[in-house]
Copies of this chain bind each other. A is one copy, B any other.
Amino acid sequence: MTRKAAIIGGGVIGGGWAARFLLNGWNVSVFDPDPEAARKIGEVMANARASLPALSDIPMLEEGVLSFADTITEAVEGADYIQESVSERLELKHRVFAQIQQSCPDTLIGSSTSGFKPSELQQNAANPAMIFVAHPFNPVYLLPLAEVVPSPASDPAAIERAKEILREIGMFPLHVRKEIDAHIADRFLEAVWREALWLVKDGIATTEEIDEAIRMGFGLRWGQMGLFETYRVAGGEAGMKHFMAQFGPCLQWPWTKLTDVPEFTDELVDLIAGQSDAQSGHHTIRELERIRDGNLVGFLRSLKDRNWGAGKVLREHDARRRVAFTDGSREIAAAPLAMAQMQVLPSWIDYNGHMTESRYLFAASETSDAFLRFIGADMDYVASGFSYYTAESHIMHKGEAKLGDRLTGTLQVLSADAKRMHIFIAIQKNGVDVATIEQMLLHVDMTAGRAVAAPEAILDRLMPVAAAHAGVARPEAAGRFTGERK
């Protein structure tokens, strides 16, 4: 059954949570007294729909249903998880928790607070054990981090359940073992922010120069390794101790404004806002959001290719969802077999806005892999040391597939013998070919590294298909060479 998340507070952060739950198949009920809440969440959803699916190599689950509640009580009714993202005022958060726990005392309540400790949030609560910090990072629908902070009064089993739910929506729950003001990440952000304010105030650098100093250098490092691993590498062969021996003493130097916070005068605010306008004012906030999301998708996909850092989280999220997409058994007819159903994902799109060339061959592989599983040449068979290898392929592009198109991969066996399998694949949209792929596959003994006859168990399944397909007309495109005139 579809699960329900209640989102209390529908600003940028609450909207981001709503988007993450909805796009991962949860129903979401939002409570926010702001009359603009529906519009604002709609805008976050539009950004999320345009970016989050690009991280997936699995078709997305059907989006959940979004609703808006008139009261907190209505929003949390029947919820499996509740996330609070109201303003950073402790007494307001206390009132919200009290109201939630009047009707749902045993439901998980994560708080998006940047600064409060869970023990502060739990003060005077009906059931403190269910309240904890789940601190996300904007944009919530793309960045995996959620700092999960319990207090000693939290129920450890509840915290484990919460972490599992966060993983299910593609996040990386970082369990912060000891509560502390601002958890972990925001302590760093505050330290940098304070130092940056001094640099601007003292006229050392503008907001733009500071941003360049970050994104042209260490910002790139920190997106894939953090602080310590980066320095471990910098220490070189001599390692971490050597690095610390070098860098440690510098801490005594008078580099940073240790003891002081710049006064937040109107003058300083105007200075910063003015510099920020000069730096970024030629883009609207909406444009900047889309640029940011596109960049983050690029970083995340790149890490996914390398199975590293946040990319590992994405792969695990795919693996968890792949279970829902197992194929069933199929019948043999004297017609090409419809072996694979696919959807064009954002990551399949090139800069022309069309499905990128190599994805047609990818779609063909999905189709032939399904056929190989069908005749028994599945993963277990490969593990036994045998497999079909593709020797050559000829691709004809006949149409264009675009984002979201549903594609079917059909397969016709042109001929087959013990060692060879000559197949013809059509990738179709609404029954019309967008590409055809003719392939020659060889049955290979991977240990010996040469083609050998397939065993009877395989041939007993392959040859009846070949026989059935012998009566099917040979496609016109078969046997063509590249550049041949029609």
Q: How far is the CB of A477 from chain B (nearest CB, A)?
A: 9
Residue of B nearest to A189 (CB): B218
Q: How far is the CB of A211 from chain B (nearest CB, A)?
A: 3
Given A188-B214, A389-B397, A394-B393: A438 in contact with B291 (beta carbons within 8 A): no
Q: How far is the CB of A189 from chain B (nearest CB, A)?
A: 6
The reply to whether B226 and A213 form a contact with Cβ atoms under 8 Å apart is yes
The reply to whether B269 and A241 form a contact with Cβ atoms under 8 Å apart is yes
Binds B, one of A74-82, A307-315, A460-468: A307-315
Task: Return the contact of A174 from the options B209, B245, B304 (Cβ within 8 A).
Answer: B209
Per assembly, the copies of the chain total 2
Q: Chain A binding site: helix, strand, loop or mixed by DSSP? A: helix
The reply to whether B196 and A178 form a contact with Cβ atoms under 8 Å apart is no
CA of A207 to CA of B243, assembled, Å? 14
The reply to whether B481 and A480 form a contact with Cβ atoms under 8 Å apart is yes
The reply to whether B217 and A185 form a contact with Cβ atoms under 8 Å apart is yes
The reply to whether B306 and A347 form a contact with Cβ atoms under 8 Å apart is yes
Given A145-B213, A191-B192, A196-B188: A261 in contact with B250 (beta carbons within 8 A): no
Please tell me if A325 contacts chain B, counting CB pairs below 8 Å. Answer: no
Binds B, one of A97-105, A151-159, A326-334, A351-359: A351-359
The reply to whether B216 and A309 form a contact with Cβ atoms under 8 Å apart is yes
Please tell me if A109 contacts chain B, counting CB pairs below 8 Å. Answer: no
Task: Return the contact of A212 from the options B145, B196, B439, B440 (Cβ within 8 A).
Answer: B145
The reply to whether A187 and B255 form a contact with Cβ atoms under 8 Å apart is yes
The reply to whether A217 and B137 form a contact with Cβ atoms under 8 Å apart is yes
28 contacts between A and B (CB under 8 A): A137-B216, A176-B205, A180-B202, A181-B255, A184-B209, A185-B217, A188-B214, A189-B218, A190-B256, A193-B247, A194-B251, A194-B256, A207-B228, A207-B229, A219-B222, A220-B296, A220-B299, A221-B292, A224-B299, A235-B285, A295-B308, A298-B305, A299-B302, A352-B389, A357-B361, A357-B390, A394-B481, A481-B484
